[in-house]
A and B are shown apart, each in its own frame.
Chain A
Amino acid sequence: MQYDTKALLSVRNLRTSFFQDEGTTKAVDGASFDVFPGKTLGIVGESGCGKSVTAQSILRIVDHPGRIVEGEIVLTRADGSQTDLVKLKPNSREIRSIRGGDIGLIFQEPMTSFSPVHTVGAQLIEAVLLHSAVGRREARRRGIEALRSVGIPKPERRIDEYSFELSGGLRQRAMIAVALSCDPRLLIADEPTTALDVTTQAQILDLLRGIQQERGMAIMLITHNLGVVAEMADDVVVMYLGRVVEQGNVDDIFHDPKHPYTKALLQSIPSIESVPRVKLPTISGSIPHPFNRPKGCPFHPRCASSMAGRCDTEDPLLQAVGEGRKASCFLYQ
């Protein structure tokens, strides 16, 4: 497998499935992409397309009955060495040092992401103590600094408060502080702004951008909000039913989408410039039941350009459709 040696994280052909009594769900069905240092990769798609499971697979925290079935996730460590995260033993010391140490993760719902009976500080200091060889006092100092760096006022007081005592925006900042406390080189943000109102959303995005510039940190931003992607991402990966359907630079994706799904997504965004009194175009049909995946291209039942005989029998592969762009569609193969 060819890995871009400049990439911080390379995912190749990742397949993660959930094995239940009623059937097997292929949550991630062959995803491949790269994350580069200092850059933001946006992973975009509807609910259920496998974005979150991808993030969980990277950190090897997929819940039972899920399991990584195939693929490679190659992380380039600080010393230049490369580790395939899939090959690490689950919950081994090595993967645990990567979790929070090399790779940080922030979740969508900050309220439920903190333990309701522990102070924010306790969880923060715990993370620091885990990844750095410092004493309690130093850890606490670092914790207060971390809270300050995400813009929380009076951090020396806030560190001893419980999550339910903080407002929504402060909670999300606190969660970012915990994730950043050990200076990770990659931050995976799973729907970081979905639960926030628009103003707070803007502040959080600004914060993330600022930290990225300051530390040269890579960000993997998972969201279903195309607006956020447009604002934050350098590169974009579009996912549908566990597969990458299109990949490329953010400008290319937004101004010249190749895959029919990407085109339909972009068309369905309400815009000031759209023609008034015309129905907003939506994608016909609905996401198929995970146990009832269609044969061939996963999108073909809803695709306007579907070609009978090919799209419903064969699986399109992710292939180059231009400079630095890939799409998996038979229109280009």
Chain B
Amino acid sequence: MAEHAPALETGVLAEDRIAVATQWQLMWWRFRKHRLAVGGTIVLIAFYLVALFADFFAYVDPLESEAQRSLMAPQRIHWFDEGSFKPYVYALTGTRDPLTFKRVYVPDTSKKIPITFFARGEPYLLLGFIPSDRHLIGVEGAKAGESLFLMGTDMQGRDLWSRLMHATRTSMTIGLVSVALSLVLGVVLGGISGYFGGLVDTVIQRIIEILRSIPTIPLWMGLAAALPADWDVVKVYFAITIIISLIGWTELARVVRGRFISLKEEDFVMAAELLGCSKARIIFRHMVPSFISHIIAATTLAIPAIIISETSLSFLGLGLRPPAISWGVLLQDAQNIQALVISPWLLYPSFAVIIAVLAFNFMGDGIRDAADPYL
């Protein structure tokens, strides 16, 4: 109906453009209007860039520890050196506090260490196979590992910024892998349940209800604790994703099932059946395109929960374990309140979690509204 057209553009000419636009074009136009969603998407692209090029964004080996440098505060960056834009930091000299005998780092105002962008630093493999040694930030005339601590250091003296960059890579990708698994399970089981109905539907429905009534964290804790302690990082990574998706698929299955049930009654499905289309053809060629946008929306909205789950599990020490680095692993250091009070920067990784989750929620909301504003 013409009434809906003006929401996208005004004018009579716009109506014609809308009449011939594809489903995806319509969705895109609607999505564009949702400023929060667009903002969220930009943020997420930034996050994934960091995930992809983590080594570039970091300036030091995230695993390199130096007990002497434990729990250093974030350095202040001075942006202007005598009027011109030349960012620098002060070198740090370590002295021993006479009262507590703890090592304390004090900025040495006589030694300015300039910061450069795209500086040379430690070598690494970009995208896994291109050798490079350029990093986003670096220092001139000194080793980054000894002088640059943008976010401070943790208990073991490891640079928090570099660790955060690598953690972003792990946490953001676990979400993707896990949701892919949930998607497959959800679509297959939800689809079977919705399309065939009857006993199959009842059984799968009950299973979903049972899974939803079980408190998830104790279950995950149990499953995660069951993983052998001697498994390597990669194995644990995949095991955790599988565990999380084993419960997460229920939400997607419900959405898919709901769509199938309502679509089954549509006249165009009956028309296809009367034409003699095979069941597979009806499902994939006729029904699926109707709700694929809803699936995308539901999937996007499922990712934040997965990220929070992984972060929670790793925080408990039951998820990813060191030397793996994820947001949850970083936050483990913050468990100790006394340590936290002295070094609040240990909590900074939580901002990454919050922003990522918010961004996914905004983007997912935008996609859902764009797919069907009348939902």
Contact = CB atoms under 8 A, between A and B. Distances in A.
Q: Do chains A and B touch in the complex (CB under 8 A)?
A: yes
Interface of A: 22-23, 289-292
Nearest to A287: B2
A292 B7 contact: no
Contacts of A292: 12
B10 to A, nearest CB: 6
- 6 closest Cβ contacts across the A-B interface? A22-B6, A289-B2, A22-B7, A291-B6, A292-B12, A22-B10
Contacts of A22: 6-7, 10
Nearest to A290: B3
B10 A23 contact: yes
Interface in B1-33: 2-3, 6-7, 10, 12, 15
B79 to A, nearest CB: 42
Interface string B193-233: 00000000000000000000000000000000000000000
12 contacts: A22-B6, A22-B7, A22-B10, A23-B6, A23-B10, A289-B2, A289-B12, A289-B15, A290-B3, A291-B6, A291-B10, A292-B12
A interface secondary structure, majority: loop
Given A22-B6, A22-B10, A23-B10, 8 more contacts: A22-B7, A23-B6, A289-B2, A289-B12, A289-B15, A290-B3, A291-B6, A292-B12
Contacts of A290: 3
A128 B15 CA distance: 49
A26 to B, nearest CB: 15
B116 to A, nearest CB: 49
A290 B2 CA distance: 10
Nearest to A286: B2
A290 B12 CA distance: 12
A22 B2 CA distance: 12
Interface string B348-364: 00000000000000000
Contacts of B10: 22-23, 291
B56 to A, nearest CB: 44
A290 B15 CA distance: 13
A205 B2 CA distance: 35
Contacts of B3: 290
Contacts of B12: 289, 292
Nearest to B10: A22
A17 to B, nearest CB: 15
Nearest to B4: A22
A23 B3 CA distance: 11
A264 B371 CA distance: 41
A59 to B, nearest CB: 24
Nearest to B8: A22
Interface in B65-98: none
A288 B30 CA distance: 25
A23 B9 CA distance: 11
Contacts of A23: 6, 10
